[in-house]
Each structure stands twice: as structure tokens, then as C-alpha cells.
Amino acid sequence: MDVIIAGAGPTGLTLAIELQRRGVAHRIVEASPHPFEGSRGKGLQPRTLEALDDLGVLDRFLAAGADYPPLRIHRPDGQQVDWRMDELHEPTPDVPHPNALMVPQFRTGQLLADRLTELGGTVEYGVSVTTFSQDAHGVHVTLSTGETVTTHYLAGADGGRSTVRAQLGVGFEGETFETQTMLVADVRLTGLSRDAWHIWPGPDGRSQKLGLCPLPGTDLWQLTAPDATSVTDALAEVAPQVTFQDVGWRSMYRANMRMVDRFRVGNVFLAGDAAHVHSPAGGQGLNTGVQDAYNLGWKLASGDDKLLDTYEEERLPVAAAVLGISSRLHKRHSEDPETALRRDDPVLRQLSLNYRGSSLAVDHRAEPGRVRAGDRAPDAPGNGRRVFDLLRGPHWTLLAVDAPAPTVPGVDSFTIDAHDIYDVQKPTYFLVRPDNYIARVTEDPADLATFVP
Ligand SMILES: Cc1cc2nc3c(=O)[nH]c(=O)nc-3n(C[C@H](O)[C@H](O)[C@H](O)COP(=O)(O)OP(=O)(O)OC[C@H]3O[C@@H](n4cnc5c(N)ncnc54)[C@H](O)[C@@H]3O)c2cc1C
């Protein structure tokens, strides 16, 4: 066995797909006897949509989800005001999916699990990782079934209360606000139009009392009620016109913002909520977990120890930056809830996150342009095939802008005409990693001769 993945949330499932499509022997075990049933993380950011495109499932997500609806604020004086968390952006040739897509988390899980099954993988439900130890022979993992398996690598994608993280004993620094709780529930109701996400501020007009968000592709609403303990009480207090029918999933969220100080200990890796827990403000948690898995998958498949070190090198600073943003947004909620609901900071879309400082990013040019080594490879129109069509799949790609495509063993090489988007004046070569970040940029094809994927 090469890899054991603990946890089949969005992070673990993405990692399993990445391994499965590369033919890496793995097992993915999930403590729960069934798939997750809640709407919890419902915002997929544009960069996540690009990863899903690479995994071959974007069309299914677009069919299952919808753009964020406008917010409808029901003010205490009876006035209703509509506004948007973020303007809807028009697609551009380099960013074909510029807006966050709303998809309830149970649907995201289902679509990812279906993709895994389609590729020949299986989630083992009702099986958890209980203990492990590691030595020169590998990681020895004991499962709740009593079975012990020796594997090269263990990936802890086992969520905020991660057993893997606890056993590694790594630091998990940050803040927990014991007194700040929020009831989150999936409900059916009548008496509200489904064309908006309804928000009721408290009597002071500041704190948020109740939120009801229609969930696309379902007849459900996601209810969020800070400080409430009962759905009935939360609705009766500010929205008596709403008739509540029944509750599906419900959970009590406690504000918790923390991250680990190591993403790797020996051959054990942490990813997703196991490595960083966010405030829901800004919709970053699930997205950051999917991006962790997207970064880790091809590196685990390579089995290259030095390459695997770059997982922490690249993802720890990103997690810290994202956590900083979502924590700031969280704190604004108690100060000015209306502006705190704005989501117009472009960083939240995760398109500008980059690995420019990474040891894997080498730009040979004296004067790099706008698009550099370490950046996400932008899309661009082509002759019938877009750049994203060329990148889709588990391979390395060489994009030769305005130059014949050279042969590099193990790399799919293409000529593209995209000097505007790739911001180059002369023939330039962009070597793109399997997770579609640019590893090398050069104007001299001889610089690629030493490259081994
Ligand atoms: C109210 C709310 C709203 C949110 N909104 C957003 C949003 O809009 N956008 C966003 O990006 N994020 C959002 N999030 C955060 C998002 O839900 C999480 O970040 C996401 O679920 C993390 O995915 P994960 O796979 O890392 O962990 P999880 O989804 O927690 O999955 C971990 C899995 O591991 C399993 N497990 C646990 N222990 C073991 C073990 N020992 N062995 C095997 N399996 C185990 C668990 O059963 C679980 O299924 C929100 C969260 C909340 C609470």
C-alpha cells in the first residue's frame, strides 16, 4: 500500500481522485458510516472550480450549483434592502470561471465520491484510523477494524478534530472563542422567496440574528443563527412570517481559528481542516483543503522525498494568509455585519494565490512579465482547444508561446498563441506542473534540457 487517507471529506476525496487517476495504490477510510449530509461549506471559489475542471468534474458542479444570490437585509424598521456580497464578474479569456459557485457541501462530497468511483476507487465507510507509528519500513496504521496496514504515506484529512494531528503532537495555534456559537441547520420552510439570501440583523441593527440561504438544486435552506440553540426560537424571534417544516442536518459551530506549525512529519501529512480551521466568513475552509490535496496528490504519486518537502513549503504560507483573511472577516461581523458580509476582496477567489517563493519556481528571465514562475497558469483561447483543455489531466505541460513546441521527455508540449495573456514579447516557454502552477519560465529551450518530471 502506498497511501492511506484518513477522512473522506472534500480534502480526502480530492486527494483520493488525484492518486487514483495516477494509478497510486491507496485506501481512503472514513470514520462515519455514511457520506456527510450537511450543507456546511457551500461556496466554491474560482480557483477550486479550475481544480475541478482539471479533475474532469467541473460540468457536473456547474449543473449542480448556482451563482450566489443577492443578500436581502430585513432591517428592524421593516425595510428590505438588497445588495450583493460581491459583484458578478464577467468571464474573461484568462479567467473563465470568475465567480464563486454555491453548491451544498453534501453535493460536493457526492460529486467527488462519484468521480472517485468512476475512476475505480472506493471509500471505506465506517472505518477510522485509530493509531499509527512510523519507522524506516513505513507508517504502520491501525484501523478501527483491528487491522494494521503498513503504508509508505499516511495523509490526515480527518477534519478539525483530527486524530492524525493529535497523535503527531504538532502545534495547533490560534484562537477559539468559546462563547461565540452559531446554530447551522438545513431546513425546509415556506413564506420566503428563493431569489435571495435573507438576513435579519438584531434589534440594534448591527449583530446578525438570522440568515436563511436557499441551497441550489434542492428545496432546502441553510439556516445560520448566532447564539441560538433552537431553530424554532431563531425563526419566531425575527421572522414570524416563515413557516418552518423540518430540519435535516444541524450543527453547533464554535468559532475556532487555528493552524498547525507543520504539514509534514516524516511520512505523515496533514491537509484540509486537519491542518487549519477557519471561520466560515469568506468561504475559504473547504477551498483551502481542496487546494492542499491538489498540491499534495501529484507529489505523493512521485514518491520523491525532496518534492514532498515542498508541500509544507508551499501550503503553510498559503494557509496562514487565508486564515488571516477569514479571521479578520470574522471579527468584523461583530462590529459591522453589513460590510462584514462583503466578499469583494479578490484574494478570496484564490486565483492570485501563488508559489512564487517556492524552491520549485524558477524564472530564468531577467525581466519577468506579469505571469511568472509560481503563478497559476492562466487560461487562454487557442485554435479549437483552450489552454485549460491542454492542461486537463495528471500530466506536466510545456506551453511554448509563439515558438515551436520542443520535445521534453515525459511532458506534453504545445505551441500556443497567447502572448497577451502570458505577457511576453518574444518566444517563451512555460513549464506547467500537474497542479497547473507554472514551475519554470525561460526564453531558451536549453534550460528545459535538464528537466525530469
Ligand atoms: C457554517 C459553516 C459554513 C462554511 N462555509 C464554507 C464555505 O462557504 N466555503 C468553504 O470553503 N468552507 C466553508 N466551511 C468550512 C468547510 O465546511 C470545511 O473547511 C471543510 O469541511 C473541510 O473539509 P475537510 O475534508 O478538510 O474536513 P471534513 O469535511 O471535516 O472531513 C473530515 C472527515 O474525516 C472523518 N474522520 C475524522 N476522524 C477520522 C479518522 N480518525 N479516521 C477516518 N476518518 C476520520 C470525518 O468523519 C469527516 O468526514 C464552512 C464551515 C461551517 C461550519
Q: Which residue has the higher pLDDT, 276 or 85?
A: 276
The secondary structure of residue 100, as a DSSP letter, is -
Residue 334: band (very low, low, confident or very high) from pLDDT cuts 50, 70, 90: low
pLDDT at 342 over 90: no
Q: Are strands 411-416 and 276-277 parallel, antiparallel or unpaired?
A: unpaired
> Cα torsion at 396, 401, 404, 409 (round to 10°)?
-10
Q: Is there an atom of ligand 1 within 6 Å of 289 CB? A: yes
Cβ of 156 less than 6 Å from ligand 1:
no
In the numeric block, which cell numbers belong to residue 394?
A: 495528471
Please, is 452 exposed, middle or buried when counting C-beta atoms within 10 Å of its C-beta (0-12, 13-18, 19+)?
exposed
pLDDT band for 336, please (50, 70, 90 cuts).
low
| C-alpha grid cell, residue 333 | 461581523
CATH 3.40.30.120 at 362-448, yes or no: yes
Q: Across the chain, what does the average pLDDT equal?
A: 93
Whole-number Å distance between alpha carbons of 118 and 122: 9
41: alpha, beta or left, given left = phi > 0 and alpha = psi -120 to 50? Answer: beta
pLDDT value for 335: 63
CA of 32 to the centre of ligand 1 (A): 12
The number of residues in the chain equals 453
- Provide the pLDDT for residue 54: 98
Tell me the residue type at 80. Answer: Q
CA of 277, closest atom in ligand 1: 19
Domain ranges of the chain: 3-65+100-174+257-349, 362-448
Q: Does residue 437 have a pLDDT over 70?
A: yes
Query: Ligand 1 centroid vs 87 CA: distance in angstroms?
Result: 28
> Residue 343 pLDDT more than 80?
no
CATH of the domain spanning 3-65+100-174+257-349: 3.50.50.60
Indicate if the alpha-carbon torsion angle 186, 187, 193, 194 is positive or negative.
Answer: positive
User: Which of 61, 128, 286 is the pocket-test mutation for ligand 1 (most atoms within 8 Å of CB)?
Assistant: 286
Cβ–Cβ < 8 Å for 253, 178: no
Tell me the pLDDT tens digit for each residue of 286-299. Answer: 999 999 999 999 99
* CA distances from residue 273 to 3, 66, 320, 447 in whole angstroms, order as listed: 19, 25, 13, 39
Our answer on whether the CB atom of 276 is closer than 6 Å to any ligand 1 atom is no
- Evaluate if residue 33 carries a pLDDT over 80: yes
287 lines ligand 1 (CB under 6 A): yes
Residue type, 161: R
Q: What radius of gyration do the chain's Cα atoms show?
A: 23
Helix residue spans in 251-302 (DSSP H): 285-302
Q: What is the pLDDT of residues 306-330, one digit of tens each?
A: 999 999 999 999 999 988 887 877 7
Q: Is the CB of 297 under 6 A from ligand 1?
A: no
Is residue 42 a contact partner of residue 67, using CB atoms and an 8 Å limit? Answer: no
Q: Is 158 in the pocket of ligand 1 (CB under 6 A)?
A: yes
Say if ligand 1 is within 6 A of residue 65 CB: no
Q: Backbone dihedral region of 99: left (phi > 0), alpha (psi from -120 to 50 degrees) or beta?
A: beta
Instruction: Decide the pairing of beta strands 43-44 and 66-67.
Output: unpaired
pLDDT at 331 > cutoff 80? no
Q: pLDDT-derived band of residue 333, with 50, 70 and 90 as boundaries?
A: low
The dihedral region occupied by 73, where left means phi > 0, alpha psi between -120 and 50, and beta the remainder, is beta
Q: What is the pLDDT of residues 204-225, one digit of tens each?
A: 766 788 999 999 999 999 999 9
Give pLDDT, residue 245.
82
Going from the Cα of 162 to the center of ligand 1, the distance in angstroms, rounded, reads: 10
Cell numbers placing 392: 486537463
The pLDDT assigned to 337 comes to: 58
CA separation for the pair 451, 411 (Å, rounded):
10
| Paired sense of beta strands 208-214 and 268-270, if any | unpaired
- Residue 399 pLDDT level (bands cut at 50, 70, 90): very high
- Among residues 380, 431, 381, the alpha carbon closest in space to that of 405 is found at 431
Side chain identity at residue 321, one-letter code: A
The whole-number average pLDDT for the span 342-355 is 85
pLDDT tens per residue across span 61-98: 999 999 999 999 998 888 999 988 888 999 999 999 99
Going across the sheet that includes 362-363, the strands are: 362-363, 438-442, 428-432, 396-401, 411-416
> What's the per-residue H, E or C state across 426-446?
CCEEEEECCCCEEEEEECCHH
Q: Is the CB of 291 under 6 A from ligand 1?
A: no
Ligand 1 center to 240 CA (angstroms) = 32
Task: Specify the ligand 1 atom closest to the Cα of 10.
Answer: 25
The answer to whether 396 and 436 are in contact (CB under 8 A) is no
Q: Mind giving me the DSSP string for 200-256?
A: EE-TTSSSEEEEEEEPTTSS-EEEEEET-S-HHHHHHHH-TTPEEEEEEEEEEEEEE
Query: CA dist 297 to 13, 353, 358, Å?
Result: 11, 18, 17
Tell me, what's the pLDDT at 339?
A: 65
pLDDT of residue 32: 98
Residue 29 near residue 127 (C-beta atoms within 8 A): yes
Instruction: Find out whether 281 and 329 touch, Cβ atoms under 8 Å.
Output: yes
pLDDT confidence of residue 231: 85
CB–CB of 300/19 below 8 Å?
A: yes
